[in-house]
Structure 1
């Protein structure tokens, strides 16, 4: 199972994550305490191996900005965490991950509206559109036909709950941000522990 460490803001954290076995690094370009500018993200992007996915997180951004940042930073995917329509996602020239916030069963059915490279399921929005450190009712995903090879699970995951969540949902990738932080800062020990749990914990 793949692991994405999201909200990375410096080269050292990215390299620690990659060395620990992360498959993807996420850069947040939307309003967030983890927001990064494209120039800094590019420095991180060029410091990590080509096979690592480099994912930019955006909220209700214009097509022009999305495609410009994608090329400038060297991203592999655009993660759209706002109110982007299926038509808008389909209009983009680059690989798209559409985030869907799950609060009730009707939200779950929205997943099937998006024909994207991946769909990321996350908790309802708090102060920000993601990275709020809260879970959602994973059982809501039990009775819907979702291509698991396209499903990314996010929302309040940590070393204590990630095995249970993964067993229930069986996503292709786990996305973590606040769950590997201490005091709002990425914690190298927590990053290593989380990745080890996912990779070696029987998943």
Structure 2
């Protein structure tokens, strides 16, 4: 369990943007490895630190509580940390490596990259070399949750092979394409939000279960 406990043959699953106790319970029952709490007020999936703190109490040991922030100020970050027991931070904005290290304050963290044409993969992974993982998302307006996949073929094979134990694949994943994504890229984990929603910010519990089942089926098909 846990998002970044890499093991060949078992892709970890993060479901992001959960907002209600029923969402949490459904995700846990489906076998999720991590849930993401969005601390970015413009997002339809945003929650307050106090709501996140209440939801996190429903998580069993071993399921990561991921705090997603976008260019948060020190004060905003500390307001989250003061009440919500986040176990893993996700920096989804324009934070520098120094920002990430300082704000995470010794806790594990992920740096998200918005992948467009000619994205500098090598430079990115070198620049953020102290990150525990790299989350690859689509380049869309806003910050994540756009439901748009990016061109996976644009990821250099040498880069993905070298970094797969640290790669969290996001961006437009759903029940229908997650199997192909795993077969092609073998990431440590996959991250879904809009792909398991019936409308922006409203999760479909049946789709969450089906998504995780699709991941497990892909893992089984990839086994020798």
* Same structural fold, with TM-score higher than 0.5 when normalized by the shorter chain: yes
State how far apart, in whole Å, the 2-side matches of 1:90 and 1:141 are.
Answer: 26
Paired with 2:59 and 2:89, the residues of 1 have a C-alpha distance of 18
- The answer on whether the counterparts of 1:101 and 1:124 sit within 8 Å (CA) in structure 2 is yes
- Distance change >3 Å, CA 197–CA 3, structure 1 → 2: same
Q: What are the Cα deviations for residues 19-58 of structure 1, in whole angstroms up to 9, with x where unaligned? A: 1010000000112011111111111101111210000111
Aligned to 1:163: 179
In the TM superposition, residue 140 of structure 1 has moved relative to its aligned partner by 1.6
Q: Show the counterpart of 2:212.
A: 195
Give the gaps of 5 or more residues in structure 2.
Answer: 1-10
- Residue aligned with 2:61, SS: coil
Gap change, CA 1:11 and 1:61, over 3 Å in 2 = same
Q: TM-score, normalised by structure 1?
A: 0.94
Q: 2:150 corresponds to which residue?
A: 136
Q: 2:17 aligns with which of 2, 7, 28?
A: 7
**5+ residue gaps in structure 1?**
none
Pair 1:72–1:13, CA change in 2 (3 A)? same
Give 1:8 shift: 0.2
Of the three residues 191, 202, 205, the one matched with 1:175 is 191
Partner residue of 2:116 out of 85, 93, 103: 103
Please point out which of 85, 90, 113 is paired with 2:127: 113
Q: 1:151 aligns with which of 167, 173, 183?
A: 167
**Compared CA separation, residues 10 and 107, structure 1 to 2 (3 A):** farther
Q: Give CA-to-partner distance per residue, 1:93-138, whole Å, 9 cap, x none.
A: 1211100000022342323321201110000032x20100001010
Offset at residue 67 of structure 1 (A): 4.2
Correspondence for 1:44: 55
TM-score of the superposed pair, with normalisation by structure 2: 0.85
Say which of 95, 100, 110 aligns to 1:84. Answer: 95
**Contact 2:168–2:187 (CA under 8 A) maintained in structure 1:** yes
May I ask how many residue pairs the two structures share in their alignment? 202
SS of the aligned residue for 2:157 comes to: coil
- Kindly provide the CA deviation profile for residues 51-79 of structure 1, in whole angstroms up to 9, marking residues without a partner as x: 10000111001234324413521111110
Query: Is 158-167 or 67-76 further displaced after alignment?
Result: 67-76
Q: Give me the CA root mean square deviation.
A: 1.5
- Which residue number corresponds to residue 28 of structure 1? 38
User: Are the aligned partners of 2:49 and 2:79 in contact in 1 as well (CA < 8 Å)?
Assistant: no
C-alpha distance in 2 between matches for 1:72 and 1:199: 34
Q: Are the aligned partners of 1:142 and 1:169 in contact in 2 as well (CA < 8 Å)?
A: no
